[in-house]
Amino acid sequence: MRHAILAFLVCLGSSLASAAVINVEFKFTPFVGDPQKNEQVTTVAGKARLYINNIFFAEQEVRKGTVPVLFEAREIGPAVWLPVASAGPAVRKGRNTLRIDFEPADAQASYRAQLRWAEVNDQVTEERSGGQFKSTNQSGEGVEEKAATGRLRIERQFDAPFASEHPWHRAAAVTSLSDTDRQELAKLVKARADSFRPNFDGIYAALQGNPQIRVDDIRKMKCLDKAWAAGVRIDAPAADQLEATLTGNAEVVLRRTNGDLFRPADPAKFEKIKGEDARACAGFALFSAFPPRIVVVRNPGRAWEVVY
């Protein structure tokens, strides 16, 4: 019997050792109620802003409603779910930091927030205990709860061995920007906006790196040509309207001081694009090429370039 138990433990340890982490998942919920006693709790309305390594990643609205409390671990159904493997080049191999800033709709609201995390492995492990059988591909699970009134900030460090490496991940952090830097960044943003012109090669090149976009389909539909013909133009901020945020890394985040970095010079022109499909295609392509903010780094030649 002892040999059988030892063999099982050796096999289990070997399985865990050979399993590779392919994702890290985070689940966040602001709530009121008692998850230890009740089968449901009520989410708190507001906005959750997610930052990865001090770089804004996403904003998600949280609506008031009921969510279930699951399993023996009393896991609250997530209001925000982040699979880190889908977060793109903001994530780097080694240590990363996720920050969530939650702003409730009622600034005086008192509530609790639960953050859960787990590593997702490429292999399933099995356990038998007390006559029960458990099979899972998760490990490194954890939970943190915080009480708050008004705004809440919660952070968690994590490792991402599955992340792709990019040259700027190992570059020195940008600690300051000179007036010359700001002028060069303003020129870079203007050049990006000016790339929206026939034959649109600059836009197609920018979209090519997005795996969710089929550039050939956009070319075939000629929806950018139709948007141009309808009078759509892209407006870029002047140097004194450009907000540059340092992140503590090589990346610098650019946006407009009073809103989105890029915006249509005349939003009404979109309605003049002929055909609903062409209008949807143009809107998607232009939003992807001219997002609300962009991230730039210095390349090896010390020139600024857009990386995402």
Please name which of 133, 114, 113 lies closest in space to residue 125, comparing C-alpha atoms.
133
90 touches 169 (CB < 8 A)? no
Query: Which of 16-20's residues contact partners 24+ apart within 8 Å by CB, and which partners?
Result: 16/125, 16/139, 18/123, 19/121, 19/122, 19/123, 19/125, 19/139, 20/121, 20/122, 20/123, 20/161, 20/162
Q: What contacts 300, CB < 8 A, 6 or more positions away?
A: 167
Q: What is the tens place of the pLDDT at every residue in 71-107? A: 888 999 999 999 999 999 999 999 999 999 999 999 9
- What pTM value is reported for the model? 0.85
The SS3 of residue 218 is helix
What whole-number distance in Å separates Cα of residue 108 and Cα of residue 239? 38
How many residues would you count in the chain? 308
Strand partners, 139: 119
pLDDT beneath 70: ranges in the chain: 1-18, 130-131
